[in-house]
Structure 1
Amino acid sequence: MSGLVFDSIVKKFGEFTAVHETSLTIPQGKFVCLLGPSGCGKTTLLRMIAGLEAATAGRILLDGDDVTRIPTHKRDFGMVFQNLALFPHLTVGENIAYPLRIRGVSKADCFAAVKRLLDLVQLPDMAGRPVSKLSGGQKQRVAIARALALEPKLFLLDEPLSALDAKLRESMQIELKQLQQKLGITTIVVTHDQR
């Protein structure tokens, strides 16, 4: 089966159950939003997909392969964290190229990928700009570009718009959906914002 499958997945922290037995199928190429109040297990579920939290029980399948126990760095996903996790001492281009560099991609290929990704997120000609000089929306776009650098099968976003003002949040919601449709990548967004 193509896509992401949660097969009776459970996550406990000691006696506390953060994610109760959950089964769900997300077909390849879909945009899915996990919506709920703080503390209901949304981020924990996303972190299990990413391999940042180990499942207590159940399985996670990606395109039919069991990835439940595969280490994070061997899973095929890109993730945008709530705090964006950009490197403040690197330029925009260096931030986007970082996952490519650690995988041993050549400088020429990194340069080409950074240019393509900056065009994709509508930030052309900003590769040399310091991250500290960017607006909130621009930082968001850099984090998205970096998450997409390795052309992942899954695109995971944890409360990606929570730090943005209402107007920018609204425009970024539209841009994210358009980007997902353009790339056809399975996208999972965690949020408590019903809008």
Structure 2
Amino acid sequence: MDFKKFLPWIIAIVVIIGIYSWVKGINNTAVTYEQNINESWGNVQTSYQRRNDLIGNLVNTVKGAADFEKSTLTAVIEARAKATAITIDPKNITPEQLTQFNQAQSGVSSSLSRLLVSVERYPELKANQNFLKLQDELASTENQILTARTRFNEAVKPYNTHVKTFPNSLFAGMFGFKEKPYFEAAVGAEKPVEVKF
């Protein structure tokens, strides 16, 4: 039997199997990284949902103070509604969508801060145990949000590195894998906070 006759076929088969395994590895690694991003995004949404649920309880507690500023409560309720109206699919997330989501959540944070500052003028509300507990839970939730956003960014980095590195970038585009945006600080966060008494 003459092996020289089959040698080109054997080499071709080995090369095809090698290329297939390499391309499959690029795809499967991208899929794994993308699943990590999806999980991280779910944790971000869960943290924001917890804050939204707490805001509802906080608003109801504050409504009990009859002479409390209604415009402040309305601003919180409207910001919360706007923030919950934005939904994002982490598979197809774009920088514009993430910016829009970030702005809506910043609006909630801003109106919530105004609410908590205005509470200082209501001693009976400041002494309310339900209010104090909700305030502590909100502070804890803000820390959870920060952690979830940080972990989302940590999940995006290896994915982006994988799909942007040559030659992976050639195949990633063919398989529909695109670069994902990072969470960034809210606009104006670089300015020092002005504290007024």
Larger Rg: 2
Q: Same fold (TM over 0.5)?
A: no
Structure with more of its chain in strand, by fraction? 1
Q: Could you say which structure has the higher helix fraction?
A: 2
Highest relative contact order (Cα 8 Å, sep 6+), 1 or 2? 2
